[in-house]
């Protein structure tokens, strides 16, 4: 198992904590964008990152908010829905990866959950030359609707069959996207994919999508 390394991401105005997993000979790096009220230690995202590592894909999980911002958000809930703030942070992280000597040669993918999926699509539109794939898990991709026509990265939306509101929104967005795209509905899953076997299915779908679009060779897990 590839153990995560702690990193501090020095951005323009803030410093954010991150965990980097980098398997030997990795060709791709998946940047995770967590959803409402979550963080880099989200057990669901950690599970998916470990699955990607077994496929030979690197991952970067980072806190979108500083500790002070997180305390404020815990009280008010306002920052987790500030899509402009989240997108700006993500774009800065993408640019940070592009400057890092160890990471800059890797093909970048984005994995967004909940509101983080909107930030992922907006960042993919803003950095269309370097983002090569996007996966949304139970994502509010509708919150990125203004930029969907600018998204060129192949995009996979994964949603639970028992998550009716998000399923309806994802179905609508699948008709708006003009890039290569697919909608996968996981049977028996609610919004957080807590039902037995459903998160494993998310991980399988994500690693196959990123493996196809980020790796020159496509090794099976």
Domain-embedded: residue 38: yes
Domain-embedded: residue 24: yes
| Domain at 64, CATH number | 3.40.50.1820
Q: Look at the chain and report how many structural domains it folds into.
A: 1
Domain-embedded: residue 88: yes
| Contact status, residue 142 vs residue 115, Cβ threshold 8 Å | no
- CA-CA distances (angstroms) from residue 153 to 110, 139, 147, 218, 219? 10, 16, 12, 18, 21
pLDDT means per 10 residues in the chain (221 residues)? 85 90 95 77 89 96 81 72 88 96 96 94 98 97 95 98 98 97 98 96 98 77 44
Domain-embedded: residue 220: no
The pLDDT assigned to 2 comes to 76
The pLDDT assigned to 43 comes to 86
Would you list the DSSP string of 193-218?
A: --STTHHHHHHHHHHHHHHHHH-SS-
Beta carbons within 10 angstroms of residue 111's beta carbon: 31
Q: Which pair of tokens denotes residue 174?
A: 């699948």
* Gap between the terminal Cα atoms of the chain: 13
The pLDDT assigned to 97 comes to 96
Measured torsion, CA atoms of residues 126, 127, 129, 130, in degrees rounded to the nearest 10: -160
The pLDDT assigned to 128 comes to 97
What is the spatial distance between Cα 72 and Cα 128, in angstroms, rounded to a whole number?
32
Domain-embedded: residue 165: yes
The pLDDT assigned to 163 comes to 98
Please count the residues of the chain. Answer: 221
The pLDDT assigned to 221 comes to 44
What is the spatial distance between Cα 221 and Cα 215, in angstroms, rounded to a whole number?
13
Domain-embedded: residue 201: yes
The range of the structural domain enclosing residue 47 comes to 5-214
């Amino acid at each position: 198992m590839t153990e995560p390394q702690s990193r501090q991401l020095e951005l323009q105005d803030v410093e954010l904590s991150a965990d980097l997993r980098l398997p030997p000979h990795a060709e791709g790096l998946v940047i995770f964008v967590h959803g409402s009220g979550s963080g880099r230690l989200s057990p669901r995202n950690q599970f998916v990152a470990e699955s990607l590592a077994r496929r030979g894909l690197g991952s970067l999980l980072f806190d979108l908010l500083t500790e002070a911002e997180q305390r404020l958000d815990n009280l008010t809930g306002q920052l987790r829905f500030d899509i402009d703030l989240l997108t700006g942070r993500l774009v800065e992280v993408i640019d940070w990866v592009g400057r890092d000597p160890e990471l800059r040669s890797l093909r970048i993918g984005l994995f967004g959950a909940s509101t983080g999926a909107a930030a992922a699509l907006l960042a993919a539109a803003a950095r269309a030359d370097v983002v090569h794939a996007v996966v949304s898990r139970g994502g509010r991709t509708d919150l990125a609707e203004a930029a969907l026509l600018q998204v060129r990265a192949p995009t996979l939306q994964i949603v639970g069959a028992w998550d009716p509101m998000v399923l309806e929104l994802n179905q609508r967005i699948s008709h708006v996207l003009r890039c290569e795209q697919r909608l996968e509905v996981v049977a028996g899953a609610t919004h957080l994919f807590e039902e037995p076997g459903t998160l494993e299915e998310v991980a399988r779908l994500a690693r196959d999508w990123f493996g196809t679009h980020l790796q020159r060779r496509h090794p099976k897990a």
